[in-house]
Amino acid sequence: MIANDRLLRALRRQPVDRTPIWLMRQAGRYLPEYRAVRARAGSFLAMAKDPATACEISLQPLRRFPLDAAILFSDILTVPDALGLGLHFAEGEGPRFARPLRDREAISALTADGLEERLSYVAEAVRLIRRELAGRVPLIGFAGSPLTLACYMIEGGSSADFALARAFAFAEPEAFAELLQLLTEATTRYLLMQRRAGADVLMLFDTWGTLFPPRLYRAFALPSLRAIAAGIRQADPEVPLILFGRGTGPWLEELAGLGYDALGLDWTVDLAEARRRVGDRVALQGNLDPAVLLADPAAIEAETERLLTAYAGAPGHVFNLGHGVSPGIDPDRVGFLIDCVARLSAPLHEAA
């Protein structure tokens, strides 16, 4: 049993006393206590691969703020790493793979055999976090979407436009489809492993899918997202599923029919309009522009109020940012946002 079940209730579109809030990248470089652990550990990957450290970092934001959920501290790129691509983080440059996928042969050689064993450090982190939380709030496990992972695996690292990955989809459509199929299976198994280890909610991050032309998004993103939801539901009909995507404004109606309980929105979508479009088929999570946290408290309060008004206390809204907390944010501003959501949403839920 979970003492604070606001997130679970909102995802099921049940009434709550106030709107639940958690933040993407709530554990991260904006927190001095995170930077201290990172300095000791030496690197992001060293932290993520050590279950005790990952557990400690997941809990850091919850010690500071009355958040309604914890999220596993890890990264979406642990799956390609476990598939043999050799992940490392170059200082100040973001993720890099030692062995990116550059041709058909490299894709044919990939295998998901033994994936769970190679990612057992993640399962162990989930078990530790779950034990430390002791039922106070739910724990969110997560993975990257197959299309977003394929972007990084072909490109070899971060990119503004993932042009190499997009070119590959045109040049080698069959190999690209084969890669997505393998990643769909790997992602389903990885999420189910986190569920078995104790994750209460599972979330998929599709950060880059909508960089592709609509024809390719439809061909590659939608079927893999649907297959993952179906695969998880088959093994575990109850677990709440969240799908976050950037740039998904044009796709909301279709995404609402893929089998997820909630859609996470970036800030380019109007929340009230999104709610009208998806109706009561899914809950919505989001979508404060993270830049508001760089403005001033008056702006934070006004924008929070505006977003809460889109639901006016009706069930089915999880407050979040439209993307992760950026490293330059003042933690006090994050605390102020969380206070605003509690203070401004409670009367709306009481009245609704």
Q: Which residues lie near ligand 1CP (CB under 6 A)?
A: 24-29, 38, 44, 71, 73, 75-77, 94-95, 142, 158, 205, 207, 324
First vs last C-alpha separation in the chain: 26
Instruction: Determine the Cα–Cα distance for residues 258 and 80; give it in Å rounded to an integer.
Output: 24
Is 75 designated active site? yes
Tell me if residue 306 is catalytic.
Answer: no
- CB closer to ligand 1CP out of 157 and 259: 157
Q: In angstroms, give the least distance from the CB of 38 to ligand 1CP.
A: 5
State how beta strands 94-97 and 87-90 pair.
antiparallel
Tell me, yes or no, if 38 is annotated catalytic.
Answer: yes
Helices (H), the chain: 6-11, 32-41, 44-49, 51-64, 78-80, 104-108, 115-118, 120-133, 146-155, 163-171, 173-197, 214-216, 222-235, 252-255, 271-278, 297-311, 331-351
Nearer to ligand 1CP, 142 or 168 (CB): 142
Query: Shortest Cβ distance from residue 77 to ligand 1CP (Å)?
Result: 6
Please report how close the Cβ of residue 44 comes to ligand 1CP at its closest, in angstroms. 4
Known catalytic membership, residue 281: no
- Report, in Å, the least distance between residue 275 CB and ligand 1CP: 23
Compare residues 73 and 97 and give the one whose CB is closer to ligand 1CP.
Answer: 73
Q: Which is nearer to ligand 1CP, 25 or 196 (CB)?
A: 25
Nearest to 144 by CA among 103, 83, 64: 83
CA distances for 175 relative to 154, 209, 287, 350, angstroms:
11, 17, 35, 54
Report the candidate in 302, 284, 282 with the shortest Cα–Cα distance to residue 292: 302
Catalytic residue (choose from 152, 190, 260, 311): 152
Angle between helices 163-171 and 146-155 (to 10 degrees): 100
Contact 287, 19 (CB under 8 A): no
Q: Give the 3-state secondary structure of residue 317.
A: strand
Q: Which is nearer to ligand 1CP, 255 or 348 (CB)?
A: 255
Task: Please identify which of the residues 6, 9, 38, 166 carries the catalytic annotation.
Answer: 38
For 164, half-sphere exposure in the C-beta direction (CA atoms, 13 angstrom radius) is 14
Cα 23 from Cα 15, distance rounded (Å): 21
Tell me how far, at minimum, the Cβ of 72 lies from ligand 1CP, in Å. 6
Whole-angstrom Cα distance, residue 326 to residue 40? 21
**In terms of CB distance, is 88 or 131 closer to ligand 1CP?**
88
Q: How far is the CB of 351 from ligand 1CP (least distance, A)?
A: 32
Smallest gap, in angstroms, from Cβ of residue 346 to ligand 1CP? 26
Burial of residue 237 (CB within 10 Å: 0-12, 13-18, 19+) is: exposed
Residue number, nearest CB to ligand 1CP? 158
Mark whether 166 is an active-site residue: no
Comparing CB distances to ligand 1CP, the nearer of 192 and 211 is 211
Asked whether the beta carbons of 264 and 305 are under 8 A apart, the reply is no
Q: What are phi and psi of 265, to 5 degrees?
A: -115, 145
As annotated, the active-site residues are 25, 29, 38, 75, 152
